[in-house]
Structure 1
Amino acid sequence: MINLSCLVIQVLMADFFMADQLTSQIPLLRHMEFAACYFMAGSFRANPYETCTTSQQYKHLAYVISFLPYYWRAMQCLRRYIEEHDINQLANAGKYVSAMVAAAVRFKYNVTPTPFWMWMVLISSSGATVYQLYWDFVKDWGFFTPKSKNLWLRDDLILKNKFTYYISMMLNLVLRLAWAQSVMKIRINKNETRLLDFSLASLEIIRRGHWNFYRLENEHLNNVGKFRAVKTVPLPFRELETD
């Protein structure tokens, strides 16, 4: 009999770390879909620029593509929960599901900009943001450790200047609130809208860069895989004693 469980490839850190990067590439994925519509379909020769941006088919496909990174990441968490029976993985999957719900509600608000859907955006997006911030600071970065000698942080830190950690926490908080511009209805022209989208996408990359550093720092110091990290890697064999 073949043990099929041995054939199942586990979700390793490289897998979910890459999936986390994709969740910050959603604006890029949307624009890649637009590029395919605009250039490959020949629209840039026969039709105006707005052919792809105003098409309902384009809008729907763009949002489906934007959901994929959240879906992949949630499935990774569910798989790890099934394999490891760790309730934290199930809670982590809930974070990505809440992000998908918030994105869907914002899409509905763009189609139907009524006061009801505006309040739904505020409720769903605020809830998802609080969920994400908690996971960023507590689970991924290991901050807010009880009785830590470093206020709001953890005992072990790599950077000597603790003020850098506080700045990064504030930056992460502010950039997590970038969705708020979708309900502010800022009156700007098309070129300014594209510039705003580009700026927000760039800021999300910066936020993810900060997240990467502290996530890897926490992994190195505390090893989320339930094994204590060491500064030196032990050899896989015992040294032979010589007379």
Structure 2
Amino acid sequence: MKSPSIAIVDYGMGNLHSVARALMHAAPHANVYLASDVAGIKSADRIVFPGQGAMPDCMRNLAQSGLSDAVLEAAASKPLLGVCVGEQMLFERSEEGNAACLGIFPGIVKRFQGQRYATTAPENTPLAAITHENEKLKVPHMGWSRVKQTRAHPVWQGIPDEAYFYFVHSYFVVPDNDSLTVGTALYGQVFACAVARDNIFAVQFHPEKSAGHGLRLYRNFVEWDI
């Protein structure tokens, strides 16, 4: 059997080398590489689309890299895994900088806000535990949270429901269609943290920082037969 080739989209935003190391560990038979040109994306069997940082910067870098159309083309036919801001970029628009996104999925990206949340969190603040009604949750949401699997999917194979995954984010996706959601988490409110349709699976959390369950998710993606 031919070893699958997996391109990690390199547009200058995201923890690319950590993602690559995790993928290579989870699927040592795969050919994992960073793709900073159109040819690298076109030649891959599967695509991983990470993202990290502010949405306006991510969208600007993606456009300036010349990879936008290649990502859209891949998303129409190849197995694609979105990670963190890479998940958010699949939607129509983000409240962060009122940035237009790729528009593959209908819906928007919203910020954690309201009376349950503190305005900011010091750097490296761990996930806050709620012990009193008036205790404020820090933003960004940073740390381990349970993920409720709301719909069966091959990429969840072998991962227990409500397993812990690692999050670092201030924004989350709000799909127009609930059927897109395959996983939710709780942080002051229930929010969609995993979405899927056809050949696309995308998560808000970081599988590469999520120990064994994260590695299993990467391996499931590599083995996913769409």
TM-score of the two chains, using structure 2 as the length reference: 0.29
TM-score of the two chains, using structure 1 as the length reference: 0.28
Higher-helix-fraction structure: 1
Larger Rg: 1
Q: Which has the higher contact order (CA 8 A, sep 6+)?
A: 2
Higher-strand-fraction structure: 2
